[in-house]
Each structure stands twice: as C-alpha cells, then as structure tokens.
Amino acid sequence: MDLKDHFFKLELKTDPIIDDTTLRDGIQMPGLAAKPKAAVKIAQLLSEAGVERIELFHYQKPDKKAAQLIHERKIDIRVAGWCRAVKEDIDSALQCGFKEVGISHPVSYIHFKAKWPEKTIEQILANVAEVVEYAAKTHGLRTFVHGEDSTRADWEFEKKFINTVAQAGAECYRICDTVGIGLSDANAPLPNGIPAKVKSIKRETKISSIEIHAHDDFGNAVENTMAAVRAASGVWDKIYVSTTYLGIGERAGNAETEKVLMNLYLHYGIKKFEGKTQKLKLIADYIGKATGYVVPPNKAIVGDYGFAHESGIHTHGVLSDPSTYEPYPPELVGNTRRLTIGKQSGKGIIKHKITEITGKAPDDAALLAVVEKVKEIYENGRKASLKEEEFKKILQGLNLLQA
C-alpha cells in the first residue's frame, strides 16, 4: 500500500504541538494511578512518539517523586507543572524543579457563582494577574493560563481575562472545553464555536500563543481539537493541542493523543511524526498496565482488535488485499493484523487458518468438516472468537494436526 495514494493531501500553515496531559488530567480518571518510575517511562515513550510537552501534578509525594525523576532523566520533552491560581502552587512547582507551569482558572460566570459568590470580577482578575506575574516575571517560569469552561464564558469578559494574563506575563492561553460542548463548525458563534474562538483570540487579544483542551462528553474531543488546528492555520504560527493517551481522564475523558497525532501525520503530512508512529501501540499497552486502565480491544489505532477480521466478507477481502479493509498497514502504528475464527467466519478464513497451522491446504472434505465443527460450536451458544489453541484442538480431533 502506498500511503501517498490516500493521505498527505492537506497542509497546515501552523505548527501543531502535542501537549500530553496523561500524567495530570488522564490519571484524574477514577481508579487510575501511575507510580513514579512508570511515569518516567511514560514520559520517555511519549517523547519518542513526537510529543513535545507534558503536564504533571506535583502535590502528593508520588507526584513530586515522578517530577524529580523525569527531570533527572533529562528526557527530550518540555515538562510543565499544573497549578491553581495560588502562589503556594507556584512555590510547589518551583520546589519540584519545573521551568514552566500551567495555571488553571475558571472564566465562566457559572464557575464564579459556584466557587466565589462573594468576589467581584475585579477581585478575581486582580488575583489571577498577581499569581501569573509571580510565576512569569518574579520567577521566570514559562507560563500558560488555562481558561476553564472557556466554551461557556462571556466573550467580553474572557477577552479582558486573556489580555490581563498576557500583560502579567503569560505566553499561552488554553481554551478549555471543560464540559465538551464545543462546536467544530466554522459558522458556530462564540462562546462554544471552536474556530470562532481561535480566530477571535488572535484578533482581539495580545496573547502570543494558543492551546486547545477538549473534553469528550459529546464524543467530539478529537474533532474539536482538529477544528482548532485548522482554524489556527494561517492565523497562528503554532497551536498547542492538549490531549491524553487513550483519551483517559475525568468523566468521558479527553481527545486521544494517538488519534490527534495520526490525523496530523496522515491527513496533514506533519513530518515531525514520521518514523515515530510505530510506538503508538506499545505506548497504549504500557499505559494500560501502568495505570490500571483496560484498553478497549476495539480502540482505534491501538486496540488489540484495531486490525482484527472475522466475518467472511472482510477476511476474504483482507486475504486478497489488506487495503480492502485497512486504511494503513498495522505495522505503521506497531499493531498486528489478526484473522480470527468466529460465528461470522467463512470458508476462506478457515482454510487460511488450517493452512497456516498445518503447513498445507486442506482438501474439500477436510475443510467442510472443520467448517461444520466451528458452526456447531457457535450454534451451542459460543460468542467469543476461538483462541488459537481451541482451533488447534478442532484440527487434532479431525486428525488434521498431530497432538
């Protein structure tokens, strides 16, 4: 398969920078955690896949240890500490050796009324400005500001907020689609129109960089992330894309690092990912084991069944030409083609598996006997695909394979 036949057809006039927050937002998912040494390994693997910046917690002892080890390893990746808009968090980040921070702060009235009903807008802005200046100007930290609930914020206030933090020393503003209601449509208006937001921030504020952080409550996190990248093309010289591997995170999770990376590489020809995509499946498997997350087998790109074929129509096509039902070779992402025997399997795949296991093609009678035996198993209520050993036992029972 020549990838150029179907991919690399579009181009971007902006530099998309993947800013993975698996070790911050990702492990906020209930039941997940990563030990310090595992966090180091994850950071190393992400770097090898082309991720340029990661974000960490640094409040509990394991998090501090992870930050320390990552800094000591000198991994080729930018490492940022996640902070609230309080000086104590900045001090913690400094103690952990971070050179850059992300300061998270709400920008919607919904959050202000719920969290600080006693504070005026002026007081809120003054506090944010003070903390950003403390981080950026007093201590020289590269400072991002995360506009929590940006897609439900009043634009006139948000514009003032962005200009305030820019003047205080922030270099980047993160659009946070906190409850996943962002819209990718170029005609969608503010506040939840993602392209409109990306362009309005450039046109009406003085911040020097922008980032998109999309949640997946409507299943649109990857779409909204890519919409932000497209909107930034020709408008911003670069755009940070905040993602988590496998989309792990609170509630429905985030835009998946691996999906955004593959979209950027294959559809838009972002060459810095070339030769690095082969790590994607390995990273998924490691993160699953390290955090306790069970990777869905049908997960796009990195799931065990991402390139699995069982039904007769599909297996017949793949045996003739894998491109019939695969958009790209599984090896491109470090995955494996799997041809399985199950309820939907036809003679073609069963003949192929017999030949693969025994080393010779079966005659018509032998093939029919195996087909009937498989059919019998599924008529008796079997649902799962047959494991290799189970299929071998069928062949042994019909004297087609020695025990």
**pLDDT digits 0-9 by tens, 70-119:** 999 999 999 999 999 999 999 999 999 999 999 999 999 999 999 999 99
For residue 72, give both structure tokens. Answer: 């000591």
Flag whether 345 is in a domain.
yes
Residues 282 and 220 in one domain: yes
For the chain, the average pLDDT equals 96
Specify the range with the lowest mean pLDDT, choosing from 52-56, 208-212, 376-380.
376-380
Provide the total of helices (H) and of strands (E) in the chain, helices listed first.
14, 10
Flag whether 403 is in a domain.
no
Mean pLDDT, residues 262-278 taken together: 98
Residues 111 and 173 in one domain: yes
Question: Which pLDDT band, with edges at 50, 70 and 90, does 314 fall under?
Answer: confident
Strands (E), 21-160: 53-56, 78-84, 100-106, 142-148
Residues 268 and 380 in one domain: no
**Percent with pLDDT over 70 in the chain:** 100
Q: What is residue 138's predicted lDDT score, i.e. its pLDDT?
A: 98
Q: What is residue 312's predicted lDDT score, i.e. its pLDDT?
A: 76
Residues 345 and 374 in one domain: yes
CATH of the domain at 18: 3.20.20.70
The alpha carbon dihedral of 219, 225, 227, 228 has a sign of positive
Q: Smallest Cα–Cα separation from 243: which of 35, 7, 49? A: 49
CA distance 300 to 294: 14
Flag whether 34 is in a domain.
yes
**pLDDT digits 0-9 by tens, 187-214:** 999 999 999 999 999 999 999 999 999 9
Question: Which pLDDT band, with edges at 50, 70 and 90, does 313 fall under?
Answer: confident
Flag whether 117 is in a domain.
yes
For residue 287, give both structure tokens. Answer: 């993160």
**pLDDT digits 0-9 by tens, 333-358:** 999 999 889 888 888 889 999 998 99
Using a cut of 0.75, tell me whether the model's pTM lies above it.
yes
Q: How many domains does the chain have?
A: 2
Q: What is residue 315's predicted lDDT score, i.e. its pLDDT?
A: 85
Last residue of a domain, one of 264, 291, 318: 291
| SS3 assignment, position 55 | strand
Flag whether 252 is in a domain.
yes
- Residue 368 lies in domain: 308-397
Alpha carbon 372 to its chain centroid, in Å, reads 43
